[in-house]
Structure 1
Amino acid sequence: MTATDHAVELTHVAARAAGDKLAHQIVAFDVSDQLAITDVFVIASAPSDRQVKAVVDEVQAKLREAGAKPLRREGERQGRWVLLDYGEIVVHVQHEEEREFYALERLWRDCPLIELPVDVDGGAR
């Protein structure tokens, strides 16, 4: 099984929104073969708690405009690792220290990467 077209569309919206707020290392994994509960994990990081919150706010706003509503949000108060669950996609916005420590990419490295639009900067800054 692969991620649905709708999940990929939402992934692109989330990735662009994160990039607009200068998130770093934006990646998306198709986890649909590994997990029955979601199709895609989007992972992005930011260098400060304040910027993590700004990225989260923008992702939520853009996904809301796209008609998506979060099923669950976790970690907003601390601003170190915020999880936004939209059913088809789950967005992880992490402080750079948490990203390095928890290394989600290592856990999901066997899953295929979803190609992000060329206007999304997925590189390190």
Structure 2
Amino acid sequence: MTATERSIQLAKIAALAAEDKIAEKVVAIDVSDHLPLTDVFVLASAASERQVGAIVDEVEDRLRDHRVKPVRREGEREGRWVLIDFGDIIVHVQHEEEREYYALERLWKDCPEIDLSGVDVPGGPASDADTTAENDSATDETDGDERARA
């Protein structure tokens, strides 16, 4: 069994959100063959407790935009290792020291890593291309108004 396409897309959305908050060493691991409860672990590191919190908030916000809510969130009070369980994926945001000490990648080394390059987020907020097209047409309308006034 391998991770579902939906799980992979959610993992990519979570990874992109983490990277937007300057997370380090963001990886996604397909654990579906070893765990019946979830398909993918997303791992991300942060340099401080405050950054851990910012990454966690951004991941939750971004997945909420895609109508995915967390089932559970653990470790928030300490801010050193926060686990967010979304059912199909589990996101681990760890302080750099915890990431090094617990070495989850080593624990799950037999599981395949998911390629996070070329993140494509269907059905999400407007893409940059859409926004650029809207801005271009707004500029054209403004130019026309200014020419009419001249």
- What TM-score, normalized to structure 1? 0.93
**Structure of greater relative contact order (alpha carbons < 8 Å, 6+ residues apart):** 1
* 1:40 pairs with 2:40: yes
Report the secondary structure of 1:7's partner residue. helix
1:57-112 CA deviation, whole Å, 9 max, x = no partner? 00000010011110110001111000000000000000000000000000001000
Q: How many angstroms apart in 1 are the aligned matches of 2:49 and 2:94?
A: 9
Q: What is the deviation of 1:117?
A: 2.5
Q: What is the deviation of 1:118?
A: 4.1
C-alpha RMSD of the superposition: 0.8
| Identity within the alignment, % | 64
Structure 2 stretches of 5 or more lacking a match?
120-150
* 1:109 pairs with 2:91: no
Alignment length (residue pairs): 119
Structure 1 stretches of 5 or more lacking a match?
120-125
Q: How many angstroms apart in 2 are the aligned matches of 1:22 and 1:118?
A: 18
Report the secondary structure of 1:35's partner residue. coil
Q: In the alignment, what sits opposite 2:15?
A: 15
Q: How many angstroms apart in 1 are the aligned matches of 2:104 and 2:30?
A: 13
- What TM-score, normalized to structure 2? 0.78
Q: In the alignment, what sits opposite 1:75?
A: 75
Spell out structure 1 runs of 4+ moving beyond 4 A. none
Name the larger-Rg structure.
2
